[in-house]
Structure 1
């Protein structure tokens, strides 16, 4: 689409919407299109205006009399109606005026009914203007500071971190620390939009207004609840010349285990107790380990007898600071440093799986063994041992120089056919590249294939651990190789 075509599309969308408003009886004015929404609770005059990014953003609707509509979590700070959730942006449906007006009418119907079955969004931040302070304020478990005083100290990466403390009587004017108070507002039915709204919910014996006037408190952390969900907001406060209190919201986030694992997936809690062994922590195995920890696995055994070489890094999880370390040590250090997993929960076994006894011990002491060794003898040994132990392993490998990957569940359950062979004879091989110390060519598999194969492997691992296998035998995926198709 050219710039001219884009401009034409935007202009047409706006004209089409305006024509729909005219048909509905709306009249254009200085601030937008004025009309009336009829609903069970009566009729409300509104103004509809276009946002700067229309049609890619829905129009804005504001009651002409802001207080004629009950304030709720479905209003913006300026009184506009919250009409479209962030997860409801499919198909730009609001570009049809008739559909949009029906949606506005439905909003008023829900408001008249008191928003039954309302989902408890924790977005109190949008009811306060942002501070000019661009630092990120990090807090841990606020239950440790119930209705207490706190101190935020500068930390790395332009952050401020919470701790206990009050401003000393003779605090240095050059101190970069900021002092505050944590207040629990309890359940909030209507969002506060000013300091007055906040102050009436705080226990009066705190005398917070006096502390703010005397510059003893300039940060207020609010804990609140909606339904079963807990929220928090960090506000910057200061006294005004007329004896009031000004307030702005600060950029803040929880730095807790719960916050850092909330996006791990709905099955993550089911995986916390599982024990998984990964045999081979090269490119595929290292990313598999990383994704498993991110998914919720908290007990890992890493098995590999190799060390990290400079040439490994382009396809490996770890960085150049790990060169020379055993791969199991390097991967463990990476996982512990970057994820919520304790060092004691990752076991290093710097040896190859070269005996049946070792294989059987791994199978007996783990819920699942994942073979990413890319070594036929290791895979065969684990396969036979798993059959003897009446257990399954997952074997994942990248084949055909990165043109395919496969994930096998071995042995397949009774009645399931094993995956067919996926090795291909390629007529035109790329020029082989050899490296000193290697008796065979270096694999030209690109890094993204290792990550993609690891993702597929983890999907099957999770499926087996929660007893919902993705496929009884596994999967084979043939990939398009841009390097070959370009020739």
Structure 2
């Protein structure tokens, strides 16, 4: 494809065709007068033209983009700075015509936009003093509608019900949280009435509320004939809003009128209109089969690049109870791969991940243990870590640390364990799970991986702390995409295990996943399931006779008795 710069030089034949067809349109159309064909200061081709509506003459510019004919030309009013049409992007802005970016084809021509501009203007202005309606085939998205809005109020379906039920003459007050980001202020009404009597929004996580600013809000319903407040100046607003019930302490004022919601943000010296974002459709995004995850507790051992991503994904699909184990600090170099960011630099990874999870979903509980599993910790601290993990429904090992793996294998007789590794250089990784009684012991599973690599005559590409390795003269280091590519299937394996699906979506319990060409992987995304032997039979505990059992229980009861009498 030719360069997009100065398309008329690259394609003079198309330039000739455009010019000739515009002239042909002018020759057969009494309403059209062509002006100068020129290049503007940005070297874009422009055609001036005038449209005669019979009672009115309107001047336009047809402007060709640099990427023509792969993008459509634009039609602008030449002189008028007010809104010329109901199908226009703001006063003096481009007309929204039949041929647009969403339906454009290179076969279309510039003359068709000129014709479309005439059709629009003549339809909306059929005669002096008359206005006509031209149907729109172009619906604005919420994102387009709010592009120029600095202040926004996020609605939800419960708040909409409260607004709908509010009668005239009974204003209610409450609290709103404002999130100040970049050039925007985003408001959430969090409660209405004393102690949230009429409404309390529990969907906004508590940690988010604490981080933001609180504002007072008043909501009132007015008659359909009432005049809404004027925002020309703050003084004018006060004079026109006070009769509707606004009070000086109200920093957010919501007026309900005839099915419309009009919101004002009142500052010390001026007033801002707030755009209302309608409630989202009330659709479960994770599916009803994920609901049991709300009752599950996950132990995340390792909150680094892999663990932070897996924990965030589990929170998003419904897990709300976490035990987070990691003694490491989050430092600037960790930003490259971790799900955390610069706001968390200097914090313990476990603490920062815990806060992130609480910002993702309301009601998330985190037991943060800034300890190293298998590290040089006191016996009391180690016992506390083990006790916390023993009450989990699943443990995820994101450490790739053989010491931690050996300790966690002690839990595997009664708690499912999922683990994953990122291979050196980001060439691939491994995901695995152990379910009590369904897979062989974890040490045998790890041995199966080593044997698989040995059969391929390739060393296991286990990573160092930086996920790096050398291939010839090139040092390869796993990047964020490599880590994420392993974190996602590992999370799916964890979800499948937590839900105890029968049959499991994963017919194998260990997979090697390739991400880059190397001696082992011919191409990216090749996946090798690892076959495992059947788990050995569980050895039965030595049985006690009835007399022996009674004797031991008596000793235990006696210890409790002595404790009570102490």
TM-score by length of 1: 0.51
1:140-159 alignment to 2 at 5 Å? Answer: 140-141=154-155, 143=160
Contact 1:383 1:410 in 2 (8 A): no
Computed over aligned residues only, the root mean square deviation of the Cα atoms, in angstroms, reads 6.7
Residue 399 of structure 1 corresponds to 423
Contact 1:32 1:49 in 2 (8 A): yes
What SS does structure 2 have at the residue aligned with 1:215? helix
Q: Whole-Å Cα distance in 1 between the matches of residues 350 and 320 of structure 2?
A: 14
Residue 96 of structure 2 corresponds to 81
Q: Whole-Å Cα distance in 2 between the matches of residues 94 and 433 of structure 1?
A: 52
Q: Whole-Å Cα distance in 2 between the matches of residues 94 and 202 of structure 1?
A: 49
Change in CA separation of 1:101 and 1:221 when aligned onto 2, cut-off 3 Å: farther
Q: Whole-Å Cα distance in 2 between the matches of residues 333 and 96 of structure 1?
A: 54
Unpaired runs of at least 5, structure 1: 36-45, 64-70, 166-177, 185-200, 238-247, 435-442, 482-487
Deviation at 1:285, TM superposition (A): 0.7
Deviation at 1:299, TM superposition (A): 1.1
Count of residues paired in the alignment: 383
Which one of 32, 50, 73 corresponds to residue 59 of structure 1?
Answer: 73
Residue 41 of structure 2 corresponds to none
Q: Does 1:408 align with 2:426?
A: no
Residue 63 of structure 2 corresponds to 50
Change in CA separation of 1:29 and 1:286 when aligned onto 2, cut-off 3 Å: same
What SS does structure 2 have at the residue aligned with 1:348? strand
Change in CA separation of 1:406 and 1:152 when aligned onto 2, cut-off 3 Å: closer
Structure having greater relative contact order (Cα 8 Å, sep ≥ 6)? 1
Residue 367 of structure 2 corresponds to 347
Contact 1:288 1:458 in 2 (8 A): yes
1:380-391 alignment to 2 at 5 Å? Answer: none
Residue 311 of structure 2 corresponds to 289
1:39-438 alignment to 2 at 5 Å? Answer: 49-50=62-63, 52=65, 54-55=67-68, 57-60=71-74, 76-77=89-90, 80-81=95-96, 88=102, 94-97=105-108, 121-122=141-142, 125=145, 136-141=150-155, 143=160, 160=185, 203-205=224-226, 208=229, 214-216=236-238, 266-267=285-286, 271=290, 274=293, 275=296, 277=298, 278-293=300-315, 295-304=316-325, 306-308=327-329, 313=334, 316-318=338-340, 323=346, 325=348, 327-336=349-358, 338-342=359-363, 345-348=365-368, 352=373, 365-366=392-393, 368-376=394-402, 378-379=404-405, 393-410=417-434, 421=452
Deviation at 1:476, TM superposition (A): 0.5
What SS does structure 1 have at the residue aligned with 2:368? strand
Q: Of the two, which has the highest radius of gyration?
A: 2
TM-score by length of 2: 0.46
Q: Does 1:453 align with 2:486?
A: yes
Contact 1:183 1:202 in 2 (8 A): no
Change in CA separation of 1:202 and 1:379 when aligned onto 2, cut-off 3 Å: farther
Residue 25 of structure 2 corresponds to 26
Unpaired runs of at least 5, structure 2: 27-32, 36-46, 52-58, 78-84, 121-132, 193-214, 242-251, 376-381, 440-444, 467-474, 519-566
Change in CA separation of 1:265 and 1:155 when aligned onto 2, cut-off 3 Å: closer
User: Could you report, residue by residue, the CA deviation over 1:175-207 in whole angstroms, capped at 9, with x for unpaired residues?
Assistant: xxx9999799xxxxxxxxxxxxxxxx9722355
Deviation at 1:397, TM superposition (A): 0.8
Q: Whole-Å Cα distance in 1 between the matches of residues 498 and 260 of structure 2?
A: 32
Contact 2:231 2:272 in 1 (8 A): no
What SS does structure 1 have at the residue aligned with 2:237? coil
Q: Whole-Å Cα distance in 2 between the matches of residues 310 and 210 of structure 1?
A: 48
Deviation at 1:320, TM superposition (A): 8.6
Residue 513 of structure 2 corresponds to 476
Deviation at 1:405, TM superposition (A): 1.9
